[in-house]
Amino acid sequence: MVRLAVTGDLHIRMGDPGAVAPGLAAASRGVDALLIAGDITEHGRVAEAELASLLLRVIDVPIVAVMGNHDLRSLRRLAFRQTLATAGVTVLDGASVVLTASDGLRIGFAGIAGCGGGFWPAEAPDAIHTKAWNAIAVRQRREAAKLDEALTRLEADVRIVLMHFAPTASTLGDEPGAKYWMLGNGELGRVIDNHRVDLVLHGHAHLGNRIGATANGTLVRNVAFPVNSSVVQLLVDRSGIVESESLIASAVGTGG
């Protein structure tokens, strides 16, 4: 049995570590790993990453994260990632890591930021095509290909996808339909459904709902802190995700 603490959308900024970050150390006590589904910082500034590192480096379990759109605002992405690495944070971008429990159970995480693009034709209407839209479509294909490769290479007993953007509209809750194209895309869901995946964790949709599924029924959890008002704890065994509960309650943030 492996115990995971999971959250997303910390939005740490200078002078304001946000609602969840200060409690992460307590929330991570007794777990085997902490997962962060992006938007660790508000502006992607290295100084914000340094503040995040101060809060995260006291956590003595593996920390696996992906970048969110707010982190990707960084003009110094290498320095940003290196700063997080000093706190022991592994940032996945089309790659994977495997955590092996004491009983030999291998929990694999494939991670990617993802991107927008929308959920047509299955879950939402198509958007108006423009030049800007073509750029989004290119990025969508690139992110989907990276996720596909990471999942193809991942060898583990339990396979979890960690991402920032949503792979389905089923976890978008009260987000307005006009924003769907900014919140994720269905191509990521189709990639997931082409592989054996036990669970997808994403953030980004602050007004979303907690639990949904891809078209083929893969379990999807929106772990954005504003959605859950807590760090989520998952218990995992060979059969997959067996239990979940909230770890800490705190104030609800806003943003995107």
Cα–Cα distance between 181 and 101 in angstroms, integer?
Answer: 38
Q: Walk across the sheet containing 95-100 and list its strands.
A: 95-100, 106-112, 158-163, 199-202, 219-222, 211-213
User: Which one among 39, 48, 71, 148 touches Fe ion, defined by CB under 5 A?
Assistant: 39
User: Which one among 68, 117, 184, 212 touches Fe ion, defined by CB under 5 A?
Assistant: 68
- Of the two residues 44 and 108, which places its CB atom closer to Fe ion in the complex? 44
Coil, strand or helix at 121 = coil
Of 36-44, 77-85, 100-108, 131-139, which segment contacts Fe ion by CB under 5 A? 36-44
- Of the two residues 20 and 154, which places its CB atom closer to Fe ion in the complex? 20
Cα–Cα distance between 135 and 25 in angstroms, integer?
Answer: 39
Give Cα separations from 197 to 96, 147, 183 (angstroms): 13, 12, 21
Of 29-37, 68-76, 98-106, 120-128, which segment contacts Fe ion by CB under 5 A? 68-76
- Of the two residues 109 and 225, which places its CB atom closer to Fe ion in the complex? 225
Q: Residue 47: left if φ>0, alpha if ψ -120 to 50, beta else—which one?
A: alpha
- Of the two residues 204 and 221, which places its CB atom closer to Fe ion in the complex? 204
Q: How far is the CB of 226 from Fe ion (least distance, A)?
A: 8
| x-or-dash string of contact with Fe ion, 1-30, rule CB under 5 A | --------x---------------------
Q: Which letter, b or e, does each residue of 116-150 get, where b requires 16 or more Cβ atoms within 10 Å of its Cβ?
A: bbbbeeebbeebeeeeeeeebbeebeebbebbbbb
| x-or-dash string of contact with Fe ion, 169-208, rule CB under 5 A | -----------------------------------x----
List of residues contacting Fe ion (CB under 5 A): 9, 39, 68-69, 204
